[in-house]
């Protein structure tokens, strides 16, 4: 069990201990890593594709940075990586271990309770780090310092994160916007007290981490997914965003989700 947690970490721990009780993962779809049904317009699928494309051999070690209930850990292990994973919630770790056992991947997955700001792994240890919607829950400077420490030279870190876009989020934070899509702490909506979308200053901080930085935006018109209840609409909007960002590059600054790639040279 992690000790000497900050106030923020304690709140996150309490939230995720409760959130973990809502439901166990139904299962893991390995279609995501087949390479036969890639969906580059979907930000989560694209992040997984980057990890899959960087797989070279079974001795590569990958860190699932804030693994939650372990769905991605199992998926990434199935690619062939030896996966190490941590989460602040002991309940999540137990669920993740059960999930790995279910798919007979317990020997290739190593779960432990931990925090992003102080990793319990050796320096220069990982070929790949992947974090899914985690940086906006943690102290970014400390977390990235730890990423740089444990990442091998030539290794990459991939983070999928929501970002603040002033033109949209200013409206989102009005009384009407908060009524339409509530932002209060909620287990049902998976909103913690301290989470914040990455700001332009956060992105500057990440860019100045000493790691080679690149970024790819997603989520423009597909923000409307919450309000469009037509079958197939979310995928259509994601595809449209993907094309618009290619055709009109200035629109990229309005992307509400980014994939951040960091490389240790």
Mean of pLDDT values over 145-172 = 93
**CATH code for the domain defined by 7-217+253-263:** 3.40.50.150
Task: Tell me the per-residue pLDDT of 70-86, one tens digit each, with 9 for 90 and over.
Answer: 999 999 999 999 999 99
Task: Tell me the per-residue pLDDT of 165-194, one tens digit each, with 9 for 90 and over.
Answer: 988 888 778 887 777 778 899 999 899 999
What pLDDT is attached to residue 201?
96
Asked if the model's pLDDT at residue 23 lies above 90, the reply is no
What pLDDT is attached to residue 179?
79
Asked if the model's pLDDT at residue 129 lies above 60, the reply is yes
Whole-model pTM: value is 0.94
Task: Tell me the per-residue pLDDT of 197-236, one tens digit each, with 9 for 90 and over.
Answer: 999 999 999 999 999 999 999 999 998 776 666 666 778 9
Task: Tell me the per-residue pLDDT of 25-55, one tens digit each, with 9 for 90 and over.
Answer: 888 999 999 888 789 999 999 999 999 999 9
Asked if the model's pLDDT at residue 92 lies above 50, the reply is yes
Strands (E), 79-234: 82-87, 109-113, 126-132, 151-162, 212-218
Least confident of 6-10, 12-16, 145-149, 171-175: 171-175
What pLDDT is attached to residue 74?
98
> Per the structure block, which two tokens stand in for 85?
């994973």
Chain centroid offset of residue 36 CA: 23
With CA atoms as reference, report the closest residue to 206 among 128, 145, 255.
145
196-to-81, 161, 169 alpha-carbon distances in Å: 31, 10, 11
Asked if the model's pLDDT at residue 89 lies above 60, the reply is yes
236-to-218, 225, 240, 242 alpha-carbon distances in Å: 13, 10, 6, 10
Q: Which residues contact 58 (CB under 8 A, 6 or more apart)?
A: 80, 81, 82
Asked if the model's pLDDT at residue 2 lies above 60, the reply is no
With CA atoms as reference, report the closest residue to 211 among 116, 118, 129.
129
As a whole number, the mean pLDDT across the chain is 93
């Amino acid at each position: 069990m992690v000790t000497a947690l900050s106030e923020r970490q304690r709140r996150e721990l309490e939230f995720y201990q409760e959130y973990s009780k809502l439901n166990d993962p139904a299962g893991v779809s390995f279609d995501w890593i087949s390479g036969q049904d890639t969906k580059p317009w979907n930000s989560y699928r694209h992040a997984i594709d980057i990890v899959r494309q960087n797989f070279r051999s079974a001795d590569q070690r990958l860190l699932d940075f804030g693994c939650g209930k372990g769905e991605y850990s199992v998926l990434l292990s199935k690619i062939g990586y030896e996966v190490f994973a941590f989460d602040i919630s002991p309940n999540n770790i137990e669920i993740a271990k059960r999930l790995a056992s279910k798919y007979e991947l317990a020997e290739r997955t190593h779960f432990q309770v931990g925090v992003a700001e102080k990793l319990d792994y050796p320096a220069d240890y990982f070929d790949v780090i992947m974090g899914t919607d985690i940086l906006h829950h943690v102290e970014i400077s400390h977390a990235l310092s730890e990423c740089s420490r444990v990442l091998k030279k030539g290794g990459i870190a991939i983070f999928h994160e929501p970002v603040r876009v002033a033109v949209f989020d200013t409206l989102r934070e009005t009384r009407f916007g908060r009524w339409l899509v509530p932002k209060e702490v909620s287990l049902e909506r998976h909103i913690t007290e301290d989470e914040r979308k990455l700001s332009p200053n956060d992105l500057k901080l990440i860019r100045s981490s000493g790691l080679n930085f690149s970024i790819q935006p997603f989520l423009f018109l597909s923000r409307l997914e919450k309000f469009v209840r037509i079958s197939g609409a979310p995928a259509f909007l994601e595809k449209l965003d993907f094309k618009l960002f290619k055709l009109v590059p200035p629109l990229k600054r309005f992307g509400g989700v980014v994939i951040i790639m960091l490389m240790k040279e």
